[in-house]
Amino acid sequence: MKGIADISVGRPVTTGMVLVSVLVLGVIAFTRLPLAFFPDLDFPAVFVTVPYPNSSPQQIEEQIVKPIEEALATLPGVTKMSSQADADQGSIQIFFDWGESVDIARMKTAEKIDEVRSELPDDIEQIFINTFSTTQIPVVEARISAPGIDLSGNYDLLEKRVLNPISRVPGVAKVELNGVEPSEVRINLRLYKIAEHGVDLGDLAARLMGANRNVSLGKLDSEGQVIHVRSFGAFNNLGDIEQFPVNDRGLVLRDVADITYREPPISIGRHLNGRYAVALSVFKEATANTVDTARRVTALIENEIAADPTLEGINLFVFNDQAAEITSGLQGLLTEGLLGGALAMVVLFLFLRRFDTTFIVGLAIPMSIIATAVGLFVLDKSLNVLVMMGLMLGIGLLVDDAIVVLESIFREHTNAAFRSEPAERRASGAQRGALQEFSEDSADASRAAIIGARKVWGAVFASTVTTAIVFLPMIVGQRNQLTVFLEEIGWAITLCIFSSLVVSMTLIPLMASRLLSRKDAGPPLWTVWLSEQYVRILRWTFRHRFSTFGITVAIFASTALPFALGLQTAMFAGVNQRQMRLGYEFTDFHYKEEAELAVNEVEAWFFEHQDELQIESVYSHYAENDAATTLTFKAAHVSEDKAKEVRERIRNEVPKIAGARLTFDDEDAETGGDSTFFRVNLFGEHIDRLALLASDVEQRLAAIEGIEDAKSSVGSLRQEIQVSLNQELAANYGVSPESLAQTFAFTLGGRRLRRYNTGDKEVELILMMSQQDVSTLDDLKSFVVSGEDGRGVTLGTLAEFKVVDKPKTIERENRKTLVSIRSSYEGEDWDGARKQIEESLNGMAFPVGYSWSFGERIQEQDRQLEQMIVNYLLALALIYIVMASQFESLVHPFAILFSIPFAFWGVTWFLLATNTPLNFMAQIGLLVLMGIVVKNGIVLIDHINNLRREGYDRETAIELGGKERLRPILMTASTAVLALVPMAIGRTGLAGLYYFPLARTVIGGLMASTFLTLVILPFIYVLFDNLAVWWGKVWREALREDVAPSHPQTKGDEPAHKLW
């Protein structure tokens, strides 16, 4: 049966047309692949939010969060449930396994909440149920500021001149402004006037609610004509509200209230470089192109909005532009890929010394990349940073198959006459070398192309499969965030190398059959010399097997030494530290204005030292008893060591703030490495008991060397007024607890009425007590309520009032109350510090029902590491299966598997030498490396076995096979290494994670594995081959049967009973 090489050489026109078709389709596919930062992923979580303003965290926890948690706990597939209760809302997050249908999970969540809706407070207006995908990440984020102007009172201007124009940009789904709120109508009832006129607040609220609406009364049918009848009662202007009658004695609303139309007070303030700022976030539609949408928005901001005369003095600072980040990342990868490809071509020419053969192999790179684009388009993938990283890794591998195929064709071409000689004349490698001088003019180029490609087809196919198969456990195994992202990289690499395989078995034989008809100039002298030295080394390993064995053991044993010498192993070590977050822990209560004063003092120090610290921007937000400042540095890349120095200087030199402590933290990072932000969680039932335990934990953490900034989540408090009702006295006045609660809710929070139509939009209409009349505790105590008998009594008479400090937020996880302690580790041995933390906290005497754990991110990293180890083992098993099938042997694959520990030896020492952490990216490199390093072993052992089948003795076959495969192995390894050099020395990255640890991992492992595969693998091959013969003899003797050996023992083989 004809193979693919036979068809490509025998039907050149057909093959050419197929390749041209692929080329055209690939170009079209590249132009239609959407550019994106991340692939489109739905995170397996459902988020429930229940707004309940002007409440308390304890009340929301008991009345909202716990009932919903109990209902949702019965959902199938839930891996974790976390919740938060604060003064204005309850939030519940339900996490599922990756692969779970988010739409179905959301539907089931809604059904469960409907079941307990009757148990929740009656005055809950809305319950929001949301999910999240990567398409919901803001494509543009900006800050709006103006010198000396607080923009929080300019919502209408920003809405008309900024928000609305951006909303009309094609592809924009939503625009959010934070730090400024839309104007609303407030009816501020004056307490003394209400009391003076004896106004019934309940009756007034009900009448206002019913008045502000237009009602359809029906229709009249008059002589065949239908007339619709409507009643218009909605307020047309503020004057209508002011003239609303309060009673039948001529009292109108403006007599007892102040009616205003303006922006409400903002609970969170923002500074950008010392100026008041408003946050702007732009979200795209799910199907819109990220880059196109972000570019349109940025262009609008920088041109039309910047030139708007009504916005004179207002600055828009874009600090996050996904279009720029995506194109920058892709451009960096593209540049590194082109440079790597060019270096690979130079290496090929140095080895081949012919432009035609270099050109033939070089064609594999663009053709394979273009063919890969077709596969990506068919699989509905986007051209995101993960896919581009896979393509970048694939560039160094694209010429591997082409080199092996071309080398085989070239050797077949130059030795065509030799194949016609009898076997007796092929007794030794020396005779074969002499016969290589036969003129290639006598060879048929087409026949050489077919036979040469056919000879290495099995080895090339097996080596390609082993490279791709390491990603199979990611696709079919247990899924998590790490494996989902690795799957994207795996698809890109797999499509690349299989495209390369097809190109190598079609285009390479076709081109070789046309371009290799000229006489070869011969190999470079330096490769001839290198081959001779290599054979000498091989012979030395055969003569000194015990020494070789000792060297092999020493190499394996020294693999662990770099870890003892300081090689970092944290998952997210070595990240870009361009941004730094500084939190404020207030030891006593601070109102928003007081928190701003603390922020101003810290910002002043940063501005004073801005040039020294190379600070680009200072962004702060502050609220009641809460504040944080984020620094962005001018340098695009800031190392961990540099960041550590800056943090140490800030700790020592920033002025101490009265009543506040500054701590470094990162809400999103619990990483590892030299600068680790980590979290310790305490679980139990009562928040007060957990607060005491948290204080003890803080002290224990502070006692461990290198740990800084220990901060408990209960350290941020809010002042709360607790009211204890005198039940007996309230009953005497006819005041029930329910009516008193409603009075408090209205007095402090007001009541939302039907929305007011201004003519061009609808705004909130709120009835509330004037804040001037209830601004102090004494005002609240003097508020008069009426009982069922109409008698009035002050709240201070009916209840006892007490001001206490309570947590701003109550957190829960898996239906247990949670208190977290955040800290940072500034030492150099996170693993050692982690053991000390575990020992210290395990030594605490926790009450029954109370426990501790590390934060979710660290636990997730532990799970991911365990899963990666499982995936490594599965990949090893799959690689073994492929090689066993290729060699029809259960023993020889074990010899090739030793290429992997060879590679790991090179990885650890190379990373240590280059001061590179064995982090998340390096672990991806390890996985890729497992599939790559066995390729050289497959090509070498396959050729040795072929020579033995031709009749060569084992030692001669090893020498001759190694000599003939030396050049292709060195070429494939060199091109792969040099293709990754730009990435290895560059600073391209993803979300703060650099790619260079991945590239350096592959480079170090491939260099070590290539050398050790060529030198040590033949020795291991002999060892396992002897083991197979020995085991066969033992087996036969045990069965007492005269069974022929698995292969004939030829001259030069070792005796069957010896392993050496």
Q: Which two tokens stand for residue 871?
A: 């995936």
Cα separation values, 330 from 37, 38, 137, 485, 988, Å: 9, 12, 19, 17, 9
pLDDT band at 675 (very low <50, low <70, confident <90, very high): very low
d(Cα 903, Cα 159) in Å, to the nearest integer?
A: 59
pLDDT at 48: 94
Cβ(389)–Cβ(37) below 8 Å: no
pLDDT at 21 over 50: yes
Task: Please tell me which residue, 903 or 514, carries the higher pLDDT value.
Answer: 903
Cα separation values, 949 from 304, 416, 823, 936, 1032, Å: 77, 19, 65, 20, 19
Cβ(749)–Cβ(54) below 8 Å: yes
pLDDT band at 545 (very low <50, low <70, confident <90, very high): confident
Query: Strands, E, within 837-975: which ranges?
Result: 851-854
pLDDT at 192: 80
Residue 875 has a CB neighbour count (10 Å cut-off) of 22
Phi, psi for residue 708 in degrees, rounded to 5:
-130, 165
- Of the given ranges (13-22, 798-807, 901-910), which has the lowest mean pLDDT? 798-807
Cβ(974)–Cβ(968) below 8 Å: no
Cα separation values, 609 from 302, 421, 663, Å: 30, 83, 19
Reduce the DSSP state of residue 1041 to 3 states and report it. coil
- Of the given ranges (32-41, 428-437, 603-612), which has the lowest mean pLDDT? 428-437
pLDDT at 928 over 60: yes
Reduce the DSSP state of residue 143 to 3 states and report it. strand
| 44: Cα separation from own chain's centroid | 14
Cα separation values, 363 from 371, 375, 398, 936, Å: 12, 19, 10, 22
Q: Which two tokens stand for residue 514?
A: 């046309």
> What residues does 825 pair with on adjacent strands?
676, 707
Residue 56 has a CB neighbour count (10 Å cut-off) of 19
Q: Which two tokens stand for residue 296?
A: 């349109």
Q: Pick from 328-332, 836-840, 856-860 the range whose average pLDDT is largest.
A: 836-840
For the chain, the helix, strand and coil percentages under 3-state DSSP, each to the nearest 5: 55, 20, 25
Whole-prediction pTM: 0.74
From the list 242, 244, 236, 240, the residue with the least C-alpha distance to 254 is 242
pLDDT tens, position by position, 294-344: 889 988 988 888 888 888 878 887 877 878 877 776 676 677 667 766 777
Domain architecture of the chain: domains with CATH? 14-39+353-420+442-522 (1.20.1640.10), 45-132 (3.30.70.1430), 138-182+265-326 (3.30.70.1320), 184-262+719-807 (3.30.2090.10), 523-572+858-1060 (1.20.1640.10)
| 486: Cα separation from own chain's centroid | 10
Strand 257-262 with 717-725, pairing: unpaired
Cβ(1006)–Cβ(903) below 8 Å: yes
Which H, E and C letters describe 671-704, residue by residue? CCCCCEEEEEEEEECCHHHHHHHHHHHHHHHHCC
Q: Which two tokens stand for residue 703?
A: 């006692």
pLDDT tens, position by position, 771-814: 777 777 787 787 777 766 667 778 888 888 887 777 778 899 99
pLDDT band at 907 (very low <50, low <70, confident <90, very high): very high
- Of the given ranges (129-138, 665-674, 936-945), which has the lowest mean pLDDT? 665-674
Residue 74 exposure: Cα atoms within 13 Å on the Cβ side: 11
pLDDT at 92 over 90: yes
d(Cα 566, Cα 266) in Å, to the nearest integer?
A: 50
| Sign of the CA dihedral running 387, 391, 394, 398 | positive
pLDDT at 651: 87
Q: Which two tokens stand for residue 727?
A: 């039940």
**Mean pLDDT of the region 253-266:** 86
**What is the rounded average pLDDT for all residues in the chain?**
81
Task: Please tell me which residue, 362 or 558, carries the higher pLDDT value.
Answer: 558
**Which distant-in-sequence residues (6+ apart) come within 8 Å of 545 by Cβ?**
1019, 1060
Cβ(952)–Cβ(426) below 8 Å: yes
d(Cα 351, Cα 967) in Å, to the nearest integer?
A: 7
From the list 858, 851, 861, the residue with the least C-alpha distance to 813 is 851
| Sign of the CA dihedral running 900, 901, 906, 911 | positive
d(Cα 891, Cα 870) in Å, to the nearest integer?
A: 23
pLDDT tens, position by position, 684-719: 988 888 888 988 998 899 888 888 888 888 766 677
pLDDT band at 36 (very low <50, low <70, confident <90, very high): confident
Task: Please tell me which residue, 612 or 831, carries the higher pLDDT value.
Answer: 612
Cβ(400)–Cβ(935) below 8 Å: yes
d(Cα 152, Cα 331) in Å, to the nearest integer?
A: 39
pLDDT band at 1000 (very low <50, low <70, confident <90, very high): very high
pLDDT at 715: 67
pLDDT at 1056 over 50: no
Cβ(476)–Cβ(938) below 8 Å: no
- The number of residues in the chain equals 1060
**Mean pLDDT of the region 241-265:** 86
**Which distant-in-sequence residues (6+ apart) come within 8 Å of 633 by Cβ?**
578, 579, 580, 613, 614, 615, 616
Helix axes 481-515, 12-32, angle to 10 degrees: 150
pLDDT tens, position by position, 413-449: 766 544 444 444 444 444 444 334 333 443 467 888 8
What is the number of helices (H) and of strands (E) in the chain?
41, 32
pLDDT band at 1046 (very low <50, low <70, confident <90, very high): very low
Tell which phi-psi region holds residue 771, choosing left (phi > 0), alpha (psi between -120 and 50) or beta.
alpha
Which H, E and C letters describe 207-243, residue by residue? HHHHHCCEEEEEEEEECCEEEEEEEECCCCCHHHHHC
